[in-house]
Amino acid sequence: MKKIMVSGCLGQIGTELVTKLRRDYGAENVLATDIREDSAHVLPEGPFVILDARDGKKYAEQVEKFKPDTIYHLAGLLSATAEKKPQLAWDININGVYNALECGRIYHSAVFFPSSIAAFGPDTPRDKTPQDTLQRPNTIYGVTKVASELLAEYYHKKWGVDTRGVRFPGLISYKTLPGGGTTDYAVDIYYQAVQQGKYTSYIARGTYMDMMYIPDAIDGMIQLMEADPSRLVHRCCFNITSMSFEPEQVAAAIRAHIPSFAMDYAVDPVRQAIADSWPNSLDDSAARAEWDWDPKYDLESMTVDMLKNLRAKLGDKAKF
């Protein structure tokens, strides 16, 4: 990769991806775009353009002007928000991917897009979910992810577009606030632990979901796009994971550092139903074999890093 464009750059993944890409490839070589203005100056260095990813004409104009060899298309609505606004979710999640793929076809850019564990459904094997298996999601978010996976595969087979992607588990970060995802309890719990010393979980005890610390996710996205294409049997999308846990295990990891931490439950039926349709754990052996995927963080090491960085970030608001 030499010149890179990122859509949806102000989301949980985008802010951290752009920061690392600019550090590794040069700020001037990474164009950040989002439908929102960068009013908080989250990404102060390098070019930034306001772009609605649904606008195919303007998307193409930016690609033609900047001439990226790689597009990271991250714009989209997350799971819980998508369930509340299914028509908008289809519009953003499908049309955005289509516009990115069209730009890849016309301007010969490689295209990365993130799929999700939501691409699986209640009929999928729940434990060590295989790379290639039944995908019948029962959420609009999952439906858009499966459709996008198939569309990206089509563009690769039909026109040779270099499409690549991963199925992310829940992503955990101290830099970005929870943004409407079902797995966001695993972010919020750390914020509440250092500020309040307690947390009320909207996900039920015993609900296992795959998770990943954001540094591993960012490294994986870059590693995949730099991988030798001749090794890639799969394209869209690879299972990747680093840990699987349920709320009590996160609470126990936090209590190792904040012994007084308390947790109770007020289960949200909408997000719980979504979680119950997803895998407990993923088989990511294809990613490990085809491009050497190897995450660094587990629950314990992530917890140490999350608490340390949140205390520094929150300052006087961190009471524990």
CATH number for the domain harbouring residue 194: 3.90.25
Position 48 scores a pLDDT of: 94
Alpha carbon distance 72, 50 (integer Å): 16
Beta-carbon contacts of 278 under 8 Å, excluding residues fewer than 6 positions away, are 117, 118, 120, 182, 209
In a domain, 91, yes or no: yes
In a domain, 133, yes or no: yes
Alpha carbon distance 97, 54 (integer Å): 9
Same domain, 47 and 82: yes
In a domain, 198, yes or no: yes
In a domain, 187, yes or no: yes
In a domain, 292, yes or no: no
Same domain, 263 and 198: yes
Q: Which of 59, 72, 98, 141 is catalytic?
A: 141
Q: Three-state SS across 196-259? A: CCEEEECCCCCCCEEEEEHHHHHHHHHHHHHCCHHHCCCCCCEECCCEEECHHHHHHHHHCCCC
Q: Is 141 labeled as catalytic in the residue annotation? A: yes
Evaluate whether 105 touches 161 at the Cβ level (below 8 Å). yes
Same domain, 185 and 229: no
Position 258 scores a pLDDT of: 98
Rounded to the nearest 10°, the torsion over CA 93, 120, 84, 77 is: -30
Position 149 scores a pLDDT of: 97
Task: Using the CB atoms, write b or e for 98-134: b if 16+ within 10 Å.
Answer: bbbbbbbbeeebbbbbbbbbbbbbeebeeeebebeee
pLDDT in tens, the chain (320 residues): 899 999 999 988 999 999 999 999 999 999 999 999 865 567 778 999 999 999 999 999 999 999 999 999 999 998 888 999 999 999 999 999 999 999 999 999 999 999 999 999 999 999 999 999 999 999 999 999 999 999 999 999 999 999 999 999 999 999 877 766 788 899 999 999 999 999 999 999 999 999 999 999 999 999 999 999 999 999 989 999 999 999 999 999 999 999 999 999 999 998 999 899 889 889 999 999 999 999 999 999 999 999 999 999 999 999 99
Same domain, 165 and 175: no
Same domain, 228 and 132: yes
How many domains does one find in the chain? 2
Alpha carbon distance 176, 154 (integer Å): 33
The model carries a pTM of 0.92
Tokens of 238: 């690879």
- Identify the CA nearest to 278 among candidates 153, 121, 78: 121
Same domain, 231 and 306: no
Q: Three-state SS across 278-309? A: CCCCECCHHHHHHHCCCCCCCHHHHHHHHHHH
Position 38 scores a pLDDT of: 67
Position 202 scores a pLDDT of: 95
In a domain, 97, yes or no: yes
* Structural domain span for residue 218: 4-169+214-239
Same domain, 151 and 249: no
Same domain, 57 and 181: no
Same domain, 152 and 232: yes
Position 40 scores a pLDDT of: 55
- Identify the CA nearest to 268 among candidates 145, 183, 168, 173: 183
Position 225 scores a pLDDT of: 98
In a domain, 289, yes or no: no
- Bridge partners of residue 5, in order along the sequence: 31, 71
Evaluate whether 320 touches 197 at the Cβ level (below 8 Å). yes
- Identify the CA nearest to 79 among candidates 151, 210, 179, 186: 179
CATH of the domain at 134: 3.40.50.720
Same domain, 123 and 60: yes
Tokens of 57: 């004409």
User: What is the residue whose two structure tokens read 């439950």?
Assistant: 265
Same domain, 99 and 227: yes
Burial of residue 35, with CB atoms counted within 10 A of its CB: 0-12 exposed, 13-18 middle, 19 or more buried? middle
Same domain, 199 and 231: no
In a domain, 286, yes or no: no
